[in-house]
Amino acid sequence: MSSLLTRLGQSLFPTTLRRARGALQPIGAAAINPLFPLYMLDATRGMANHRHKKILKLAKGYRGRAKSCYTVAIQRVTKARQYAYRDRKVKKRDIRKLWIQRINAGTRMYGLPYSFFINSMLRANIQLNRKVLADMAVTEPLSFKSVVVVAKELGLKDHSENQRLKKARDDEEKAQKKLFMEKMSRSKIGKQDKNRGLASSSSSSSSSMLL
């Protein structure tokens, strides 16, 4: 009979507590059956599903309700993932900037700017990336100096060769432009002479018709 009353009370009345005279008193099934275990009233609700558990696990360590309330935690975790996606790319840019700064500081000690050094390395076919060069500049300055010296010699040699080729190219362009201007002037003079001849022939024909 007591078990029947317990099941009936659980189905008809929720298992809750009522505050009366400063103390918590059970109502519902516990009020119907005095033998109803009161420790069941302290049971808390678990997670709705595994997705909630996953989000709250990711939100561990957040401040306030973000670490325990799913509604707040899902917003914070989503925003944190957006920042992580963005900053994974920003981190690579920052590291590359640091490499360039270290290489530039190392090359300028030997009177060579960064841009000229990189261009000289490409011309000399020295296949060392910026990460390796930056590490050499910090940990192995003598090895870095040898690379700078080789790149500087080949770069200056190629630079002088490029200057010579550029000068020859400019001279050729100037000569072609001069020939073109002379040709245009001759054609212009020829057209003027032709127009004068036509004008003189037309005037002579008109005078003969008048006579």
Tell me if the pTM is above 0.95. no
Find the farthest-apart pair of alpha carbons in the chain and give their distance in angstroms, rounded: 152
Measured distance CA(209)–CA(211) in Å, rounded? 5
Percent of the chain with pLDDT over 70: 60
Q: Is 19 helix (H, G, I), strand (E, B) or coil?
A: strand
Residue 184 phi/psi, 5° resolution? -65, -40
Residue 27 phi/psi, 5° resolution? -130, 170
Measured distance CA(151)–CA(124) in Å, rounded? 7
Q: Indicate the residue type of 152.
A: K
Residue 60 phi/psi, 5° resolution? -65, 130
H helix intervals, 17-140: 29-32, 50-58, 70-108, 114-124, 130-139
Q: Considering just the CA atoms, what is the radius of gyration of the chain in Å?
A: 46
- Residue 49 carries which DSSP code? S
Answer yes or no: is pLDDT of 77 > 80.
yes
Structure tokens at 144: 């870095």
Query: How large is the average pLDDT for residues 161-189?
Result: 73
State the pLDDT confidence band at 175, using cuts at 50, 70 and 90: confident
Residues 65, 58: contact at Cβ < 8 Å? no
Answer yes or no: is pLDDT of 206 > 90.
no
- Per-residue confidence (pLDDT) for residue 92, from 0 to 100: 97
What single string gives the DSSP state of each residue in 112-130? --HHHHHHHHHHHT----H
pLDDT, tens only, 107-141? 999 888 999 899 888 888 888 999 999 999 999 99
